[in-house]
Structure 1
Amino acid sequence: MSYDAIVIGSGPNGLAAAITLAQNGLHVLVIEARATPGGGMRTQELTLPGFQHDICSAIHPLAQASPFFRALALTPDEVDWITPPVSLAHPLDDGTALAVAPSLEETLEGLGRDAAQWRRLFAPLVERWPDFLDDLLAPLHVPRHPLLFGVYAPLLAAPATWLARACFRDERTRALFAGMAAHSLLPLERAPTAGVGLLLTVLAQSVGWPMAKGGSQTIADALVQRLRRLGGDVVCGWEVTDFAELPQARAYLFDTAPKGLLRILGERLPPRYRRQLERFRYNPGVFKIDWALERPIPWRAELCYRAATVHIGGTLAEIAAAERAIWRGMHPDRPFVLLAQQSLFDAARAPEGKHVAWAYCHVPHGSTADMTEAIERQVERFAPGFRDCILARATRSAAEMEKYNPNYVGGDINAGVQDLLQQFTRPTPSLTPYRTPLKGVYLCSSSTPPGGGVHGMCGYYAAQTVLRDWKRLK
């Protein structure tokens, strides 16, 4: 068959691009290399029968909040979102924890002398979070809400360590913000790590940090079903190795990292563009571990039982040191650990009375190191007796993450560094970053603006570029 458009890759951006094109009347085919669609949105039994583990993404504030998903309006029958009472918890060595709740007022209750400053910083953004997000999750453009964006632009572009120390007096509050900013995969002394911290904290206090009931695979399945109802096709188990094997189409959209685009298109790309893609900078990788548990993690801080997401790393200084070490090629003894405990709120994830947990830490790019001991030691630090709960575990090093999904180059789950230099020049400096020099060939992955996360906006904006190009040619 011939198609109007073919999308290579079925991650959130590939499916968002396909749905956007199909909504505009195009006949679309999505090709996926693995046996199931989803990219980072997959759920499988990795450890023991009956224990359902999210392969990559687990907690989805951006999927709830992004303009693409808001417009798509998935019904509870398609994706049943579970929002825990606490968006995230950050345990400390004194046996207590701080938390960010899905309400600004609830968050303020635990912040003590920093509560007033926290309110001044976050209240305007929480109140207008859709406006804030619409501007932030977009390619380079004139802000649609210039007053709001103009006030916060200097803070968004700042290093997290500077903002934490300038705004907050209590080391506990600084630690809480450091955990949010560390999602950036950048050293916290570098810009724009404060922007990442601000974005995630705003989402945590507006839409919360939800999970999909039954696992992240349900999000992918819902998107595929939407596409099929629009007349689109999805084929799995087809790994595209050369552009020549693809069916005839007017447009081709690649939900791949630049490395994948180079592999498939090769010499067809102009030499200058190839060199630019080859110079594209990737982040450090991640080491991921999934556990099947006999019982819930025995946290010392009761607050941790109310959150699906727990940031494990101690103080601002400790988290910053760990993230800095990774960029120097080191594996920290005390890594910053992002942990999700989905089964506390979703009984479908494990057999009755049992539990699952998911965690990763950052490691140097392409690392083959086993960080199991370091991660479990960090969890045990705040939950004594944790190791006694483990029934089985499954691990993936950064190198194994890339082997599983070639888009995770070197284990980089964000598909490229998102610093000030590369945030709006990904994958190359261009006012239309989704368009390649080849007529009808586009890039729609997280390696384009606005970057990583399950939000679909890279695919949405790539599809809009295709539609504009077609209208111009008519």
Structure 2
Amino acid sequence: MSHADAAVVGTGPNGLAAAVTLARAGMTVDLFEAADEAGGGLRTRPLFDSGVDHDICSAVHPLAPASRFFREFDLAARGVELLHPEFSYAHPLAGGRAGIVHRDLDVTAGRLGEDGARWHRLMAPLVKHSRGVVDLMLSGQRSRPADGRGALLLAGRVLRHGTRFADGSGFTGEEARALLTGVAAHAVGKLPSPTSAAVSMLLGHLAHGSGWCVPRGGSARIADAMAEDLLAHGCTLYTGHEVRRLDELKGYRVVLLDIGVRGLLRLAAEALPRSYSRQLAAFRYGPGAAKADFLVSDPIPWTNREVGRAGTVHLGGTQAEMFRQETLNHQGVPTDEPFVLVVDPAASDPGRARPGKRPVWAYAHVPHGDTRDPVDLVRRRIEQYAPGFSDTVLASCGISAAAFEQYNPNYVGGDIGSGAMNLYQAVARPAPRLDPYRTPVPGVYLCSAATPPGPGVHGMCGYLAARSALRRECGIRTAPVLSPMRTAPYERKT
């Protein structure tokens, strides 16, 4: 039996963040990962060519430099370089038009013509109060916001942009409408909605602030930095080790679970009170994501060449088309023109490319549990705005929404957000409790994206769950220091 103080099951960004927080408070931690490598959504590996790495899940990280956990953890001081593309994101439209968001708000506004002043008025106050806005959105949603101004700014904008009357909210040009709606679609659900509007305000203003960053070398660099810090603090990581029953973890003072709601029901079914199990059984999942990866010979031949200088590209057409498409997904209706996010990592990180070979990463939003191979869906969608793309494809592979659950059991039906992001579940995840991380089982806490603040590479679900465990189980109320210390090379046990 291990003599460690705590066990963490699952090593996605939240599981790693939880373990780092516990270790920095003086606890020894064992981490258990069913896969052969740690990282969850932070994995990078070759798919088609040994010299070209692909991000397996997440690729672009607007929340990594902004969240409280990563601000204090300080990725840059640990050698993780977050690269800023020339343009944060782009949204091509028919006829070679495109909306382009520069990190400089004034430059972006200057490109939007009559809508420039409106865009500036929308984003500038959020950028000014960014810390308060981010800390509110990436909180446990149970305490009074530290920055009341940020809360008021968000509330007004969510009401304006998150209702059925959000037909453009003052924008007259299709470029500005499409730019804002494309960011709202990151909520993966019905459009418009209060939660999609909140997401568009959070991610939209960060495009003009800390940026939509790409880690040099791939997303796994973030997970590696966290694992190295854990090793330096005496923690042990066991990969290829699936925990099937909660009673396997007897003897640990604290247990944190970076698993989804269904995983919690399977793992701890006999230990959970019926009332709590019923609440978990009522948890709802959202539409799915289907992933397509391509190895290409040349940069994507966008009709509008500026689009190729953006870190992220949204393919969804006009605002009206995105409203229709995302609502159909929400209703479970498949179509042939899904909303697609595309990333050419080498546009921001040239080292990711080799002569005549470069990776392309893409997600399509599809109905929950969709079984279609997304490769042709995504390829045709890119071809609409980049004729000739198919001719550059050297190899490709896809994973359907249904198959995503096999890759990661937290992604039920392809729901990469680990639960629908409707207004109720954005707050009451996974059940309506004062402490959403603490389960009724003594010493057992949930720290996955099924808890507030929800999906994204921000580490806050793990950080907040660990803080809750430290308060309740150890009487530690002071936040541990997360800043860098000496680290050792990353190792793992199997």
Q: Same fold (TM over 0.5)?
A: yes
Aligned residue for 2:335? Answer: 332
- Say if 1:296 and 1:354, in contact at 8 Å, map to a contact too: no
Matching of residue 366 in structure 1 with residue 402 in structure 2: no
Distance 2:333 2:52 in 1: 33
* 1:277-356 equivalent positions in 2, closer than 5 A: 277-356=280-359
Distance 1:192 1:77 in 2: 34
Change (3 A) 1:424 1:30: same
- Say if 1:376 and 1:387, in contact at 8 Å, map to a contact too: yes
Deviation digits for residues 315-359 of structure 1 (CA, Å, limit 9, x no counterpart): 001111111111222112211110010022223323224211011
Matching of residue 83 in structure 1 with residue 101 in structure 2: no
Matched AA of 2:198: G
Distance 2:80 2:165 in 1: 39
Matched AA of 1:149: A
Distance 2:4 2:103 in 1: 43
- Tell me how far 1:152 sits from its aligned partner: 2.6
Distance 2:71 2:385 in 1: 37
SS at match of 1:64: coil
SS at match of 1:339: strand
Aligned residue for 1:26? Answer: 27
* 1:118-157 equivalent positions in 2, closer than 5 A: 118-140=119-141, 141-156=143-158
Among 390, 394, 398, the alignment partner of 2:397 is 394
Matched AA of 2:121: R
- Say if 2:102 and 2:208, in contact at 8 Å, map to a contact too: yes
Paired residue total: 474
Aligned residue for 2:232? Answer: 229
- Tell me how far 1:473 sits from its aligned partner: 9.8
- Tell me how far 1:47 sits from its aligned partner: 2.5
Change (3 A) 1:464 1:193: same
- Tell me how far 1:130 sits from its aligned partner: 1.3
Q: Which moved more, 1:87-96 or 1:428-437?
A: 87-96
- Tell me how far 1:398 sits from its aligned partner: 0.7
Structure 1: gaps (5+ residues): none
- Tell me how far 1:131 sits from its aligned partner: 1.7
Distance 1:161 1:372 in 2: 33
Among 175, 185, 188, the alignment partner of 1:172 is 175
With normalisation by structure 1, the TM-score equals: 0.97
Distance 2:274 2:211 in 1: 45
Structure 1 segments, 4+ long, off by >6 Å, are none
Q: Which moved more, 1:152-161 or 1:54-63?
A: 152-161
Distance 1:397 1:76 in 2: 37
Matching of residue 424 in structure 1 with residue 406 in structure 2: no
Matched AA of 1:128: H
SS at match of 2:189: coil
Distance 1:355 1:345 in 2: 12
Distance 2:476 2:271 in 1: 23
SS at match of 1:249: coil
- Say if 1:47 and 1:290, in contact at 8 Å, map to a contact too: no
Matched AA of 1:413: I
Aligned residue for 2:459? Answer: 456
Q: Which moved more, 1:70-79 or 1:154-163?
A: 154-163
Aligned residue for 2:480? Answer: none
- Say if 2:76 and 2:82, in contact at 8 Å, map to a contact too: no
- Say if 2:75 and 2:222, in contact at 8 Å, map to a contact too: no
- Tell me how far 1:77 sits from its aligned partner: 4.9
Matched AA of 1:360: Y
Aligned residue for 1:54? Answer: 55
Distance 1:405 1:417 in 2: 17
Q: Which moved more, 1:308-317 or 1:449-458?
A: 308-317
Matching of residue 181 in structure 1 with residue 184 in structure 2: yes
- Tell me how far 1:163 sits from its aligned partner: 4.1
Matched AA of 1:142: R
- Tell me how far 1:372 sits from its aligned partner: 2.4
- Say if 2:418 and 2:450, in contact at 8 Å, map to a contact too: yes
Distance 1:392 1:76 in 2: 37
Deviation digits for residues 14-50 of structure 1 (CA, Å, limit 9, x no counterpart): 0111101111111111111111100000011122332
Matched AA of 2:454: G
Distance 1:77 1:22 in 2: 17
Q: Which moved more, 1:336-345 or 1:441-450?
A: 336-345
SS at match of 2:88: strand
- Say if 1:160 and 1:178, in contact at 8 Å, map to a contact too: no
SS at match of 2:183: helix
Change (3 A) 1:134 1:128: same
Q: Which moved more, 1:246-255 or 1:425-434?
A: 246-255
- Tell me how far 1:472 sits from its aligned partner: 4.5
Matched AA of 2:351: A
- Say if 1:182 and 1:188, in contact at 8 Å, map to a contact too: yes
Aligned residue for 1:276? Answer: 279
Matched AA of 1:172: E
Q: What is the aligned-residue identity percentage?
A: 45
SS at match of 2:64: helix
Matched AA of 1:316: Q
Distance 2:26 2:139 in 1: 24
- Tell me how far 1:242 sits from its aligned partner: 1.1
RMSD: 1.6
Distance 2:291 2:251 in 1: 39
Matched AA of 2:269: G
- Say if 2:296 and 2:358, in contact at 8 Å, map to a contact too: yes
* 1:232-251 equivalent positions in 2, closer than 5 A: 232-246=235-249, 248-251=251-254
Matching of residue 262 in structure 1 with residue 261 in structure 2: no
Aligned residue for 2:492? Answer: none
- Say if 1:292 and 1:392, in contact at 8 Å, map to a contact too: yes
Aligned residue for 2:484? Answer: none
SS at match of 1:374: helix
Aligned residue for 1:70? Answer: 71
Distance 1:473 1:64 in 2: 26
SS at match of 2:457: coil
